[in-house]
Amino acid sequence: MTGTAQNERILISAPGKVILFGEHSVVYQKTAVAASLGLKSYLFFEKRKDDLIQLVLPDVGIERNWRLSEIPLRFDYPDSDTRHPNDMPTELKARLVELSGPTIKDSQIQALMAFLYLLIIMESKAEKPLVHGLTVCVRSFLPVSAGLGSSASYSVAIATALLLLNNKIPFDFNSRSDRELYLETINTYAFKAEEVIHGNPSGVDNAIATFGGAKTFMRGEGFATLEGFKSLRLLLTNTKVPRSTSALVAGVSVKRKKYPEIVEPILDSMHGIAIRCRDAFKKLQNEELDTESLMDEIEDLVTLNHCLLDGLGVSHPSLEKVRSITAQSGLKTKLTGAGGGGCAVTFIRDDVSQELINQVMLKLQLEGFDCYQTSVGGTGADAVMLNKDETDKWLLEASRETLEKYF
């Protein structure tokens, strides 16, 4: 297995995720559809000549340097595969908290803890101890706390980097015939990191950030690859209106209890929408549906799902504004995630001109929204070798467009 030689620089990318259909109804055992988002996290990784472990996370405002000797890399932790990180030995936990400190924001501690935890569980089982340090720098183009899987994207990126460091996967894992096995390994470790960050994650976000494409999922039933999923163009608009996911989920729960005869059928309809999306791509794959008809269906499903969510009270004037602006150009929009603000996705048919897209984006930006032209359903985790010139400083300054060209 080819690892990364000393002084090799690697760029890793891992996508975010977006819920296409079934937010909220998924809470009530209905099917949802999520897909990888073209907005990604990018990780620069390089072995160092000194003994420093350097972690640079500009998006969460962190730059840390630890000496190898500070970190309990050879910690005796044989059952790390089966234990939940919450149940890690007290002694280890105390040490990780200490290394993550001094007291900082929860989100910063979580990012540091996830990295250190993965590093230790891998190194504790490594044949050879780590003698040189490394630099890891991660940049993310994913809005945080927006339901776009930014933490999973980070988790997948660090898992990939540390597996490369330990020669558990080759840097060109995506070109190998046993690609799926490597991705499974990445996903397993990424899930561990997600457990450190979220406690009890569903595993959907990291699976999508690892494998790419789209997945259907249902509470208690796990998730399944959505066969035949075709990458779709999308505008992602962040209204930047803050909201509380738990309050929105609770609001729907209150409505369902108060109006079961009205809300239950709405949830059934949402389930129908997700299933219909799944079946449409299957039909596309089996050539029972052409691309044009698929686009028509997606547009219908987007409108239907958004209106049902609006009925449940989880839209917001800002989201309706996005819907109305895009509708003026014939584009269909739905909220994505919890709603009540946050993000909206606007589906872009193949035949829509770049000129029209630019006009719509300008209108949305003039309303104060952040707007990204991107795609869903693309590849998951990926890695490329960099030139010597491309350092962690280069990563910090590179534009999204520049970075996207590497993959």
Residues that bind its own copies (CB under 8 A): 255, 258-259, 261-263, 265-266, 268-269, 272-273, 275-276, 300-301, 303-304, 306-308, 310-311, 313, 317, 320, 324, 327-328
Residue 358 Cβ vs its own copies, minimum distance, rounded to whole Å: 22
Nearer to its own copies, 158 or 309 (CB): 309
Taking the complex as a whole, how short is the minimal distance between the CB of residue 208 and its own copies, in angstroms?
24
Angstrom distance (rounded) from CA 399 to CA 389: 16
Q: Which of residues 73 and 356 has its CB atom nearest to its own copies in the complex?
A: 356
Whether the CB-CB separation of 183 and 381 falls below 8 Å is answered with yes
The answer to whether 205 is a known catalytic residue is: yes
Residue 125 identity (one-letter amino acid):
K
Tell me whether residue 48 or residue 363 sits nearer to its own copies (CB atom): 363
Give the nearer residue to its own copies in terms of CB position, either 129 or 330.
330
- Least distance (Å) between residue 281 CB and its own copies: 16
**Residue 94 or residue 262: which is nearer to its own copies going by CB?**
262
151 is catalytic: yes
* Least distance from its own copies to the Cβ atom of residue 378, Å: 27
Active-site annotation holder among 151, 153, 155, 315: 151
Please, what is the minimum distance in Å from the beta carbon of residue 353 to its own copies? 22
3-state secondary structure the chain: CCCCCCCCEEEEEEEEEEEEECCCHHHHCCCEEEEEEEEEEEEEEEECCCCEEEEEEHHHCEEEEEEHHHCCCCCCCCCCCCCCHHHCCHHHHHHHHHHHCCCCCHHHHHHHHHHHHHHHHHHCCCCCCCCCCEEEEEEECCCCCCCCCHHHHHHHHHHHHHHHHCCCCCCCHHHCCCHHHHHHHHHHHHHHHHHHHHCCCCCHHHHHHHHCCEEEEECCCEEEECCCCCCEEEEEEECCCCCCHHHHHHHHHHHHHHCHHHHHHHHHHHHHHHHHHHHHHHHHHCCCCCHHHHHHHHHHHHHHHHHHHHHCCCCCHHHHHHHHHHHHCCCEEEEECCCCCCEEEEEECCCCCHHHHHHHHHHHHHCCCEEEEEEECCCCCEEEECCCCCCHHHHHHCCHHHHHCCC
Marked catalytic residue, from 80, 205, 318, 392: 205
Give min distance, CB of 334 to its own copies, in A.
11
The nearer residue to its own copies, 98 or 300, going by C-beta atoms, is 300
Name the minimum Å distance from CB 273 to its own copies: 6
CA neighbor of 270 nearest in space, from 241, 297, 244, 304:
304
Shorter beta-carbon distance to its own copies: residue 247 or 327: 327
Neighbours of 330 (CB within 10 A): 11
| 21-53 burial: b if 16+ Cβ within 10 Å, else e | bbbbbbebebbbbbbbbbbbbbbbbbbeeeebb
Least distance to its own copies, CB of residue 293, Å: 10
CB of 255 or CB of 283, closer to its own copies: 255
Q: Which residues have a catalytic role annotated? A: 151, 205
